[in-house]
Amino acid sequence: MQWWRQGYDYHTEPKPNLKVTGKRLDAPAPPLMAEANNVVGPPPSMMVGMNFPTLGCWEITGHYEDDELTFVVWLSK
């Protein structure tokens, strides 16, 4: 998944300090595993690989500096 934030500069931050977490909302599940890397744009952005351990309804939250973004997705076959 590609993330973008105004002012992000891959020259000064080649390994983005973006932390992405996820929790399943509709049933118990192990936590989401995620890792951020940079992508040379335009625009320069942060690519996050996410490994969902199960299908279902997931709340995803990204934290970067003093900003936070949360959204919900439904994963099915």
Q: Which residues contact 12 (CB under 8 A, 6 or more apart)?
A: none
pLDDT of amino acid 45: 86
pLDDT at 37 over 90: no
> Structure pTM?
0.85
DSSP codes joined into one string, 1-17: -EE--TT--TTT-SS--
Averaged pLDDT, 27-35: 94
